[in-house]
Chains A and B, each alone.
Chain A
Amino acid sequence: ETGVTQTPRHLVMGMTNKKSLKCEQHLGHNAMYWYKQSAKKPLELMFVYNFKEQTENNSVPSRFSPECPNSSHLFLHLHTLQPEDSALYLCASSHSGGAVDEQFFGPGTRLTVL
């Protein structure tokens, strides 16, 4: 497996709950990403952090709130989600500025919103 871990692996939450997804990379990378993978749709970028600074927000609703306290950790805080937010949430990391800047993915968190 790659050096990107995600917890929890599965999460079921109600529309009024608040929860957080955690991602940690052990690869010495300086860029981290959140992607959303829904059924029958392409993986969709949500956020990019480069050297702890958010560099891209792909018009994500405010009920998703990212946090990047350091280059190794990335969180996605969730509140008042909708059933259509149910999906696999993938975290990735890369060495920004490297020759190819290859992204390494975590196993994902399968989120179900009731």
Chain B
Amino acid sequence: AQTVTQSQPEMSVQEAETVTLSCTYDTSESDYYLFWYKQPPSRQMILVIRQEAYKQQNATENRFSVNFQKAAKSFSLKISDSQLGDAAMYFCAYRSATVAASKLTFGTGTRLQVTL
């Protein structure tokens, strides 16, 4: 079974600074997807960024980028120029690419605080 580990329960970053959230995973599969989801307080979970395991290039979405290290099974999220609106719970998630409509396996989340 796949597992996802987020070792940082809480992180804090000053506005306009950069922060990196860590995620490691364990799987025996070679084809899969990795995701970072954001869940603001009392708001819906939304997708921040995704990475296909077969792609060597790290995904980027505006201020969000990932460092995907397949051999190390590491998938960290970097948030640049942090904004107050980035404050939320961030979840790392794994999904198999070999099964249609397969489940997401989530980590326990990292709560990000953004300070002035």
Contact = CB atoms under 8 A, between A and B. Distances in A.
Interface of A: 1-2, 4, 31, 33, 35, 40-43, 45, 48, 50, 55-56, 58, 90, 92, 94, 96-97, 100-108
Nearest to B5: A42
Given A45-B105, A58-B103, A103-B104, 14 more contacts: A31-B100, A43-B91, A45-B104, A48-B101, A48-B102, A56-B103, A96-B101, A101-B102, A102-B47, A102-B50, A103-B47, A105-B44, A107-B43, A107-B44
28 contacts: A1-B44, A4-B44, A31-B101, A33-B103, A40-B108, A42-B91, A42-B105, A42-B106, A42-B108, A42-B109, A43-B91, A43-B104, A45-B103, A45-B105, A48-B101, A48-B103, A50-B100, A55-B101, A56-B103, A92-B104, A94-B101, A97-B100, A100-B33, A100-B52, A101-B33, A105-B37, A107-B43, A107-B44
